[in-house]
Amino acid sequence: MTTAKAAPGKTLLDGSDHTLVLVDYQSQMAFATRSIDVVDLRNNAALVSKAAAEFGVPTILTTVAEKSFSGPMFDEVTAPFPGQASIDRTTMNAWEDENVVAEVNRIGRNRIVFGGLWTSVCIVGPALSALDQGFEVYVITDACGDVTTEAHERAVQRMVQAGARPMTSLQYLLELQRDWARGATYDRTVATAIQHGGGYGLGLVYAKTMFGGGEGH
């Protein structure tokens, strides 16, 4: 007989067990993105960035041809990490850049979470490469985008078939919090959800405003 225990599953993320890699959230890449509205993409990327900063997740910011072609990273992605420089590359696959993998090795965590543009190129490349080298890989699919819905969906399918675990931006935030009794991060988690969590965020505003509701017990 299997005995239930009040403990999280081994594949659930927390702030201490993974590295977040945010790839090519740049103007030139966003101009051609069609699989998700760019406003939604920016909102979701901001949610992920804030969540990582709030929970102390080591985060790698990387760009491609920032000065010569693609432009700077979105402000909402970089703002939660003040003073942190992005790693600029020439490679489409960030995992083929020596500076990026050196930072992965310096941080030293076996789980890698990816978000960025485009799904079928700059996310597939490092995701499949990391999987091939024995890393556990998660992809925040609604914080990724591509030139068509077909390109995005086939890329996600390809990564899942190879062993990557898909998730969403709001799921990422709430998975890191996971218990409303965690007071140290409660206020920031709620603030981020209110700002970037869509209808769920509006629900939080309503509950707190109308009858002082809260998630904790």
> What gap in Å lies between CA 195 and CA 211, rounded to an integer?
20
- What are the angstrom distances between the C-alpha of 141 and each of 41, 145, 149, 212? 10, 8, 12, 34
> What gap in Å lies between CA 216 and CA 179, rounded to an integer?
8
Specify whether 144 is catalytic.
no
Buried b (16+ CB within 10 A) or exposed e, 181-192: eeeebbebbbeb
Q: Which of 9, 42, 49, 55 is nearest to 185 (CA)?
A: 55
Among candidate residues 77, 122, 124, 140, the one labeled active-site is: 122
Whether residue 118 has a cis bond before it, omega within 30° of 0: yes
Neighbours of 132 (CB within 10 A): 12
- Residues with catalytic function: 122
